[in-house]
Amino acid sequence: MENTNIIVLIVLFSFIAMMIIIGMYYAKRTKSAKDFWIGGGNVGPWVTAISYVGTYTSTVALIGGPSSTYRYGLGYGIWQTAGSAWLFGLLPFLIMAIPMKRMAKRLGALTVPGWLAERYNSQKVRVVSAVLVAIFMIPYGTAVIQAAGTLLATIANIPYIIGILIVVVTVTIYMCFSGYMGISVNALIQGWIMMIGALLIAPIALKHLGGFNEVFTKLNDLNPQLLEIPGTMSWGNFLSLSLVWGLICWGQPQLITRFYAVKDSKTLGITMVVVCVFTTIMTAGYHFNGLLARAMYGDQFLDSLDMAIPTIAADMLPTVLSAVFVAAAVSAAMSTLASTGLVASSSIAKDLYEDYYLVKKGQKISNEKSICLSRIFTVVAMVLSFIFAVRPVSAVFSMAVFAQGTIAAALTGSMFFSLYWKRANWQGCLISMITGVVVTLTWYMLEIPGVHAYFPGIIASIVAFPIASLLTPPPAKAVVKKAFGKNY
């Protein structure tokens, strides 16, 4: 084995050991289901902020995001960075975070399906939202695993199947023992490693290419549209795809739960600033890597986009930095995979089984059994994601956008109206979720050109909610009072 591979493996397994040790440490502090699912609702601003970014910035973003910039050009990368910083980092905190934290405390909710069910006093809403979350978190987890496996195979020469197995087993171990708090502290560390990884390639690749002027000259020679807006695609596709990660975050359970897991609403201001700064720097670094790869390799990877970033990392980075980049990629995979796995398992264990099935039968389970059940379904969710990743699809970015875009279409309208409209009812919520999913999936199946499928799905869910609510009876006063408290 080459020395490069040995060093990469040493760094990788040292990193994995640290993640597991942290998980074991927080396992001793996980005493209740609330501890397991949301860290007891007492998480500080820095852990919340960096873990929020780490969960959002998966290996899909590390590989798939800049690979899209490689394909579409400078304008796409700039808009993606701006959309991530403002639509992901700023507006959700200003609009959603504080009222959601306060309402979640009144409702006693631990999950997003549970939050919606308590908000509308509807078990139908609980079941439908939990099923949707469980279904669409699995393919996103699969995309994350696949991206990590591709990068490990390219840089460290670790066989793909071994690479994805390493990632899944590590995450499963520390998830099962520690729950939310262990995941969040690990994501804090992983986030800083990801930041370093985002900024490693650019200085070396720039020097190799001869500086900024040479990069832009090469891009212009390849295709002048790479330096223009909307670049190589239509305006509709450009706007919908370049803002995709900024828009779909509003309906992502793995991100939303951080709003009501945070210690209190006062800490959300610090969290918001950290998220904006961290996201801007990291995302800009990732997308600039995509431009550098296009300048260096030309059109070589247009038919295999997922290989662009692993290849430039393997070619440009010296041994030690290659090891750090691998650690960043694995960090990105683990932070997102842990959160999506926790969300998927909570939908099954907490929402569908414990809070619906057992409540319907008039039964309760002990705190110990609840945590045990949570761990079992966590393993199930991870195994399913692994199975689907064994035979990788050709474009990891597309699969991730499909999964996340569909769940965003289901939940964005419901989350927004739940916070700000007292006339909102369970019928509006249910119809909004179903409409968003149906429109998104139909758009995908018909392959309608012009805009990406998630965009009309989100719009449809937002439009459907008030129409359905106004055409059906208003919610009971007790339901509204429970949600809005003194503001009712």
Structural domains in the chain? 3-119+134-397 (1.20.1730.10)
Statement: residue 75 has pLDDT above 70:
yes
Strand partners, 262: 43
Candidates 178, 104, 128, 175; CA nearest to 339 is: 175
Predicted confidence at residue 41, as pLDDT, reads: 61
Predicted confidence at residue 432, as pLDDT, reads: 96
Give the whole-angstrom CA distance, residue 16 versus residue 204: 27
Each residue's pLDDT tens digit, 50-61 = 878 877 776 666
Predicted confidence at residue 120, as pLDDT, reads: 93
Label residue 397 by pLDDT band (50, 70, 90): low
Counting other chains too, the contacts that 434-438 makes at CB distance below 8 Å and 24 or more residues apart are 434/128, 434/410, 435/460, 435/461, 435/464, 436/406, 436/408, 436/409, 436/410, 436/411, 436/412, 436/460, 436/461, 436/464, 437/132, 437/406, 437/409, 437/410
Higher pLDDT, 32 or 390: 390
Give the whole-angstrom CA distance, residue 51 versus residue 80: 20
Average the pLDDT over each of 104-118, 362-376, 385-399 and give the range with the smallest value: 385-399
Predicted confidence at residue 3, as pLDDT, reads: 46
Are 66 and 308 in contact by the 8 Å Cβ rule? The answer is: yes
Predicted confidence at residue 233, as pLDDT, reads: 80
**List of residues 6+ apart from 118 with CB closer than 8 A:** 107, 108, 109, 482, 483
Predicted confidence at residue 364, as pLDDT, reads: 81
> Percentage of the chain with pLDDT > 90?
21
Label residue 288 by pLDDT band (50, 70, 90): very high
Statement: residue 1 has pLDDT above 50:
no
Statement: residue 472 has pLDDT above 90:
yes
Predicted confidence at residue 221, as pLDDT, reads: 92
Give the whole-angstrom CA distance, residue 282 versus residue 360: 46
At 2, list the tokens: 């080459």
Task: Tell how far CA 296 is from the center of its chain.
Answer: 30
Statement: residue 38 has pLDDT above 70:
no
Task: Tell how far CA 182 is from the center of its chain.
Answer: 17
Candidates 155, 206, 196; CA nearest to 282 is: 196
Each residue's pLDDT tens digit, 316-325 = 888 788 888 8
Average the pLDDT over each of 30-34, 121-125, 175-179 and give the range with the smallest value: 30-34
Predicted confidence at residue 254, as pLDDT, reads: 81
Higher pLDDT, 246 or 11: 11
Predicted confidence at residue 135, as pLDDT, reads: 86
For residue 453, give Cα distances in angstroms to 201, 400, 408, 412.
33, 13, 11, 15
Predicted confidence at residue 16, as pLDDT, reads: 83
Higher pLDDT, 399 or 298: 298
Predicted confidence at residue 220, as pLDDT, reads: 93
| Average pLDDT rounded to a whole number, residues 231-249 | 75
The terminus-to-terminus CA distance of the chain in angstroms comes to 68
Are 251 and 410 in contact by the 8 Å Cβ rule? The answer is: yes
Instruction: Tell me the pLDDT of the chain averaged across its residues.
Output: 83
Statement: residue 348 has pLDDT above 50:
yes
- pTM of the entire structure? 0.81
